[in-house]
């Protein structure tokens, strides 16, 4: 798909759209009748949380005029390209990403289109994109009930799609958000539930929450329309900071209470709309991400139930090492269910060979690696093994680095090894 294709409003073939949709398990359309409620932030973090649970996941940004997904994922300046007659999604680890922001040559370029052209490009986003087999597709919609959400809702089969409504607590927001729910009712799009965003302010010093925009608006809305309240996401300064820094929140602040709220919401959604029986997990024998048999075994849940999470930090002389692949030893640090750190244990890695360390570390029961620098191939292998990776970490002592990560105060900079 090219910009010329969009300009000439060439419609995608109906058969191609149906074929692509038949390979997507369930589509979540994230909607809000009000702008500024953090809808794109919610959509991105829900998609990442689904992908982090080994669901084959994609995110489609249908905000033609103001696409936010590339910025929130740190993909500013990246482009997606065609492969024959299809457009290939950008891969952010295991998450497939498509956005108008990844098609334009410059982030400040305005898209000046009327409704029919927007409807046509959205058809192409479904019919001309090589989505492959997905468990879930998250669609981020612009505010309101206009051309973009209408085009999406009319394309999707109601049996395999539903809306997630995002609101903030105050009444001035919920009044507008009600229109999104009646929009779904009119079009026969089921509503999976409501998320109340900016629900209380999290103090960065003491961690206490205080109501800023009143409270309970999402719950009242859910009760009025008899739909589930999926959860409440607080107004966390780190969410703002992560967006500005182009560091996705649930990836860079994974152990915070707010990140866990996203995970809790995803658990509910996965129970409501389970992956199709017999479908392989995201890192199984899929067509695009095929892990070796040994790596598949390592990505199974870890047997030690007493440890909540295990971290690995590459070190030289028991201090954080800037280069993951050439460290003297890895510091292993466990946390309990309350996030308290245990003692450090140091293990010496085998001789460095390309591709060897990620499966070896996964066999140690590690859930997260915090490193100064790591090559792209190693990061991909860790993602396939279900191990979270944080790069660009700054600090000296492993326990201090892990503790700062858990608090959400870890300072990160450029990846010191990106080859």
Domains of the chain: 3-272 (3.40.50.300), 293-407 (3.30.420.130)
Q: Give 301's contacts (C-beta < 8 A, 6+ positions apart).
A: none
| Per-residue confidence (pLDDT) for residue 11, from 0 to 100 | 45
Calpha distance 265→296 (Å, rounded): 27
| Per-residue confidence (pLDDT) for residue 243, from 0 to 100 | 84
pTM: 0.64
| Per-residue confidence (pLDDT) for residue 284, from 0 to 100 | 47
| Per-residue confidence (pLDDT) for residue 286, from 0 to 100 | 39
The answer to whether residues 269 and 137 touch, using CB atoms and an 8 Å cutoff, is no
| Per-residue confidence (pLDDT) for residue 203, from 0 to 100 | 66
289-308 residue pLDDT tens: 333 223 233 333 333 334 47
For residue 356, the tally of other CB atoms under 10 A from its CB is: 15
Calpha distance 118→67 (Å, rounded): 13
The answer to whether residues 269 and 192 touch, using CB atoms and an 8 Å cutoff, is yes
The answer to whether residues 183 and 146 touch, using CB atoms and an 8 Å cutoff, is no
Residue 279 DSSP label:
P
| Per-residue confidence (pLDDT) for residue 401, from 0 to 100 | 92
Calpha distance 58→237 (Å, rounded): 27
Calpha distance 192→28 (Å, rounded): 8
- Return the exposure string of 400-417: e unless at least 16 CB atoms fall within 10 Å of the residue's CB, then b: ebbbbbbebebebeebbb
| Per-residue confidence (pLDDT) for residue 24, from 0 to 100 | 96
Tokens (6 digits) for 53: 């649970």
| Per-residue confidence (pLDDT) for residue 93, from 0 to 100 | 83
Helix boundaries (H) for 32-170: 39-52, 69-72, 115-127, 147-155
102-122 residue pLDDT tens: 887 555 555 555 556 777 888
Calpha distance 59→212 (Å, rounded): 30
Tokens (6 digits) for 395: 């600090």
| Per-residue confidence (pLDDT) for residue 280, from 0 to 100 | 67
Tokens (6 digits) for 301: 């849940």
| Per-residue confidence (pLDDT) for residue 374, from 0 to 100 | 87
The parts of the chain modelled with pLDDT lower than 70 are 1-12, 34, 66, 105-116, 172, 202-215, 276-307, 337-338, 416-419
């Amino acid at each position: 798909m090219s910009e010329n294709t969009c300009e000439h409003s060439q419609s995608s073939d109906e058969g191609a759209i149906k074929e692509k949709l038949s390979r997507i398990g369930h589509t979540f359309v994230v909607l809000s009748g009000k702008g500024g409620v953090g809808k794109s932030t919610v959509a991105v973090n829900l998609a990442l949380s689904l992908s982090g649970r080994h669901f084959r996941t994609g995110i489609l940004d249908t905000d033609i005029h103001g696409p936010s997904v590339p910025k929130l994922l740190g993909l500013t300046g990246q482009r997606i390209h065609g492969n024959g007659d299809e457009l290939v999604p950008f891969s952010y680890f295991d998450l497939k990403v498509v956005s108008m922001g990844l098609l334009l040559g410059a982030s400040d370029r305005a898209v000046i289109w009327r409704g029919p052209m927007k409807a046509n490009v959205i058809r192409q986003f479904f019919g001309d994109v090589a989505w492959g087999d997905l468990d879930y597709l998250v669609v981020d919609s612009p505010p309101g009930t206009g051309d973009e959400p209408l085009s999406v809702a009319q394309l999707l089969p109601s049996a395999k799609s539903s809306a997630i409504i995002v609101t903030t607590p105050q009444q001035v927001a919920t009044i507008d958000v009600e229109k999104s729910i009646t929009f779904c009712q009119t079009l026969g799009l089921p509503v999976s539930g409501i998320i109340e965003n900016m629900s209380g302010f999290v103090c960065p010093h003491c961690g206490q929450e205080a109501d800023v925009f009143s409270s309970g608006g999402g719950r009242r809305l859910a009760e009025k329309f008899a739909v589930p309240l999926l959860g409440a996401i607080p107004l966390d300064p780190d969410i703002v900071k992560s967006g500005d820094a182009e560091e996705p929140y649930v990836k860079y602040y994974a152990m915070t209470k707010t990140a866990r709220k996203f995970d809790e919401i995803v658990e509910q959604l996965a129970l409501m709309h389970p992956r199709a029986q017999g479908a392989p997990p995201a890192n199984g024998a899929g067509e695009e991400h095929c892990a070796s048999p040994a790596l598949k075994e390592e990505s199974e849940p870890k047997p030690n139930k007493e440890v909540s999470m295990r971290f690995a930090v590459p070190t030289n002389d028991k201090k954080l090492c800037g280069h993951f692949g050439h460290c003297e030893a890895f510091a292993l640090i466990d946390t309990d269910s309350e996030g308290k750190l245990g003692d450090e244990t140091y293990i010496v890695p085998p001789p460095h060979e390309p591709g060897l360390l990620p499966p070896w570390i996964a066999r140690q029961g590690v859930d997260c690696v915090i490193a100064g620098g790591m090559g792209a191939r190693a990061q991909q292998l860790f993602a396939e093994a279900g191990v979270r990776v944080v790069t660009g970490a700054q600090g000296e002592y492993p326990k201090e680095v892990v503790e700062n990560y858990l608090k959400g105060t870890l300072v990160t900079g450029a990846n010191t090894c990106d080859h």
